[in-house]
Structure 1
Amino acid sequence: MGASNFSDYVLAGKDETYAEAVAALRTRHGFDFVALGLTAFIGAPLKWVYSAGATGERYRRIVLAPGHGIGGIVIKAGKPMMFIDIDEEIDPREYSSYPIVFAEDLRSFCALPLMQEGRVVAALLCAYRSVSSRHEKAYRRLIEDLGGQMCDLDVVSADFMDFERIASGKRADSARNPIYVRSELSRVIAAQEDERKRISRELHDGIAQELLAVSFLLKRLDAHVDSEGAALVFNAANDIDRILDELHNISVELRPLALDHLGFVAALRSQAAVFEKTYGAEILFAGGLSCDRFDQALETQAYRICQEAILNACKYSDTDRIYVTLEDSDGWLHVSVVDHGCGFNADEPEIKGSGCGMLGMQERANIIGATLDVASGQDGTKVTLVAPMHATEGKEGA
């Protein structure tokens, strides 16, 4: 059986077998959460398909490109990974690289690559929502219990990735080079937007177009090769499609074309769709604006503020739904981003990520003469932006 039809093979009769195996592992070893992620073919994204102990359905919406997230890293490297205390072993600036950690509030985990016919086709994740010195022994017992096999899949349990050494290096680097917020932040923000726009256009109009041309050539080549060559062409075409998807996501992160061509609302909806796939949260929009386009500076800064607010909710709120409301009245734009999650201390927020998000949001609001209010508590968080529909001239052009 080739790797390209692995997902069809699973759907044809392995659903119940895998689901039972996942549930049995959780029961036998006392894990809080166990999940099995599958990829359709080599180089394809991984999705968490089977689970036991999940807090909801959010994890099912996570899609991981190779090299991204726990499953994506395991699939790409073909090596197992283990964190006994996530808060101690992972630099907080790297948390967003592991969306399943947020989706299921994990504190320690062991992830094992699963192979078939010499190819890594799946990832097994076993985790706890607490920290204990006994967890490493539990993971070792899991490996011994599996005996190199899970159902019809071969378990890779040797040569763990050395994340402790990497994490130690990052902590030392953080101590030597702490993050400082520069003065005149508004000028930095304006320069950053210009550079993001330039790089985004180069990715879209340059590299992406070149890859599309190669993809078309491969499709023409398919009719002129034998069956073995056709399989290689098929895999190469899938690789190009995956790279194009990743380039698109990077381009959107940098500066979505929709922001320049279609406006604030279209760009925000497009970015929200990317966040839904990445973090598994459902992002619901309500309301609407009386006009499609307005001042470029306002569109840019409102988009960045809302992008940051939605991202923070996806990463830190521990909730499955995020609500975005858009309205305008008497020349004022009103936007709110609401979650009913765990909340935080808005007066003295805990530093996560780069630690510049809240300050950056406030500075962007200042640039366009807007007010930004962040209210958070045990019932969740509400970020409200109220901005004049005509931004003050001479402060920020794009």
Structure 2
Amino acid sequence: MGASNFTDDTLAGGCSAYRDAVEDLKARHGFDFVSIGLTAFIGAPLKWVYSAGATGERHRRIVLAPGHGIGGITIKSGKPMMFVDIDEEIDPREYSSYPIVFAEDLRSFCALPLKKDGRVVAVLLCAYRSVSDRHEESYRRLIEDLDGRLLDFDVVSDDFMDFESIAAEKRADSATNPIFVRSELSRVIAAQEDERKRISRELHDGVAQELLSISFLFNQMAGHLDDVGTGLLGQARNTVDRILDELHNISVELRPSALDHLGFLPALRSQAAVFEKTYGAEIVFEGSLSCDRFDQALETQAYRICQEAILNACKYADTERVFVTLEDADGWLHVSVVDHGRGFNTANPEIKGSGCGLYGMQERANLIGARLTTSSGPGGTTVTLVAPMHVVEGKEASR
């Protein structure tokens, strides 16, 4: 089975065997969740395809680039990972790097690279939703039981990645540099957006264009190489393509061009599509707007507020769907972001991520004279933005 069509061949020929394998491992070892993630070829994204003990379908929508998430990191490094207490071993600000943790509410896991023909093409993830001193022993028994083989895969079970020193350093950094809210945040936000826009433009117009030039040179070299050189050239092209994709993602995160060229709603839809792939939650847009463009300050701040609200719901709410409702009336823009997942104490929220998201959202709302309210409880969370609307002259929609 070639690496280039690995996923297609596996789905067509061995799906029942893989499903039986994850169910068997879950039953024999008492894991809460077991999954096999597959990648189509070296450098391609990974998806969790075969699972046992899943709480829903959310995890199947996660798409992990190499080096991202548990699966992506394991694939890229070729080394196994093990965390027996996620809350203790991972800095809370890094939780978003592991979307499967949110999707399945995991507290302990072991991820083993799976090789075929000497290449890492899949990942076995075994996990618990609780913490116990016995979990590491369970993972060791799993490795002994597998004895280096799972169906038609070779299992990599030595040279585990050492994250303890990294986690300890991050904890020390948190102690010496505690998270705080800057009272001058509202004065910084506008300058921050300008800087984001500048860096985003430089990445797109500078670094990305240079890489494209290199790609064109590769095309010119193709006819002057032997078979070995052609193979190496293909690898170089793939590397450049991955770098270009990463630069694009960074540029969009800094300042999406859609926000400047198309406006608030298209930019928000585009960002929501990225969140769906990253975190697995479906983001449903409801309602409509009577105009395409608004005042630039309103578009920017409303976009950032909604971006943060949707991201928080995807990361922390443990929900399958996030609903975004937009409408405007009588000169006011109304936006709500609703999830029906795990709520939180709005008066004394648990600090996760940078710990500044809710405060930053409120400051942004203050900048545009808007009202921002957040209500949360056992039935979920609702974030509502009501902002004065100023239509850009000549940009009204002809709907």
Q: What TM-score range do you get, normalising by the shorter chain?
A: over 0.9
For residue 175 of structure 1, what is the aligned residue in structure 2?
175
For residue 36 of structure 1, what is the aligned residue in structure 2?
36
Q: Distance in 1 between matches of 2:5 and 2:239?
A: 15
Aligned pairs for 1:145-294 (under 5 A) are: 145-222=145-222, 225-294=225-294
Aligned pairs for 1:368-383 (under 5 A) are: 368-383=368-383
Structure 1 residues 209 and 84 mapped into 2: Cα distance closer, same or farther (>3 Å)? same
Alpha-carbon distance, 1:320 to partner: 0.8
Q: In 2, are the aligned partners of 1:369 and 1:388 still within 8 Å (CA)?
A: yes
Q: Distance in 2 between matches of 1:298 and 1:53?
A: 44
For residue 127 of structure 2, what is the aligned residue in structure 1?
127
Alpha-carbon distance, 1:2 to partner: 4.1
Q: Distance in 2 between matches of 1:228 and 1:33?
A: 43
Deviations, residues 166-224 of structure 1 (Å, cap 9, x unaligned): 21121111111112222211122112111111111112222222333333443454455
Q: Distance in 1 between matches of 2:291 and 2:98?
A: 38
Q: Distance in 1 between matches of 2:220 and 2:105?
A: 47
Q: Distance in 1 between matches of 2:10 and 2:238?
A: 20
Deviations, residues 49-103 of structure 1 (Å, cap 9, x unaligned): 1111111111111111111110111111111111111111111001000000000
Alpha-carbon distance, 1:4 to partner: 2.4
Alpha-carbon distance, 1:332 to partner: 0.5
Structure 1 residues 222 and 10 mapped into 2: Cα distance closer, same or farther (>3 Å)? farther
Deviations, residues 8-62 of structure 1 (Å, cap 9, x unaligned): 3323412222222111111111100001111122222111111111111111111
The worse-fitting range, judged by mean Cα deviation, of 290-299 and 201-210 is 201-210
Q: Distance in 1 between matches of 2:73 and 2:13?
A: 27
Alpha-carbon distance, 1:244 to partner: 2.2
Deviations, residues 294-343 of structure 1 (Å, cap 9, x unaligned): 11111000000000000000000100100001111111000000000011
Deviations, residues 119-162 of structure 1 (Å, cap 9, x unaligned): 11111100001111111110000000000111111111111111
For residue 396 of structure 1, what is the aligned residue in structure 2?
none
Q: In 2, are the aligned partners of 1:47 and 1:64 still within 8 Å (CA)?
A: yes
- SS of structure 1 residue aligned to 2:158: coil
Q: In 2, are the aligned partners of 1:44 and 1:238 still within 8 Å (CA)?
A: no
For residue 395 of structure 1, what is the aligned residue in structure 2?
none
Report the residue type matching 1:260 in the other structure. D
Over aligned residue pairs, what C-alpha RMSD do you find?
1.6
Q: Distance in 1 between matches of 2:174 and 2:52?
A: 37
- SS of structure 1 residue aligned to 2:13: coil
Alpha-carbon distance, 1:237 to partner: 3.0
Report the residue type matching 1:249 in the other structure. N
Q: Distance in 2 between matches of 1:49 and 1:3?
A: 17
For residue 367 of structure 1, what is the aligned residue in structure 2?
367
Q: In 2, are the aligned partners of 1:368 and 1:387 still within 8 Å (CA)?
A: yes
Report the residue type matching 1:173 in the other structure. D
Deviations, residues 335-388 of structure 1 (Å, cap 9, x unaligned): 000000011111111100010000000000000000000011111111000000
Structure 1 residues 6 and 217 mapped into 2: Cα distance closer, same or farther (>3 Å)? farther
Q: Distance in 2 between matches of 1:231 and 1:3?
A: 15
Q: In 2, are the aligned partners of 1:249 and 1:274 still within 8 Å (CA)?
A: no
Deviations, residues 206-264 of structure 1 (Å, cap 9, x unaligned): 22223333334434544555555444444333333332222222111110000001100
Aligned pairs for 1:298-313 (under 5 A) are: 298-313=298-313
- SS of structure 2 residue aligned to 1:260: helix
Q: Distance in 2 between matches of 1:332 and 1:62?
A: 36
Alpha-carbon distance, 1:390 to partner: 3.4
Q: In 2, are the aligned partners of 1:148 and 1:155 still within 8 Å (CA)?
A: yes
Report the residue type matching 1:349 in the other structure. P
The worse-fitting range, judged by mean Cα deviation, of 198-207 and 367-376 is 198-207
Q: Distance in 2 between matches of 1:215 and 1:10?
A: 32
For residue 339 of structure 2, what is the aligned residue in structure 1?
339
Aligned pairs for 1:73-112 (under 5 A) are: 73-112=73-112
For residue 396 of structure 2, what is the aligned residue in structure 1?
none
Q: Distance in 2 between matches of 1:243 and 1:235?
A: 12
Segments of 5+ residues of structure 2 without an aligned counterpart are 392-399
Report the residue type matching 1:147 in the other structure. D
What TM-score comes out, normalization by structure 1 length? 0.94
Aligned residues: 391
Identity level (%): 79
Q: Distance in 1 between matches of 2:390 and 2:373?
A: 20
Q: Distance in 2 between matches of 1:235 and 1:15?
A: 30
Report the residue type matching 2:288 in the other structure. G
Aligned pairs for 1:49-60 (under 5 A) are: 49-60=49-60
Report the residue type matching 1:213 in the other structure. S
**Deviant stretches of 4+, over 6 Å:** none
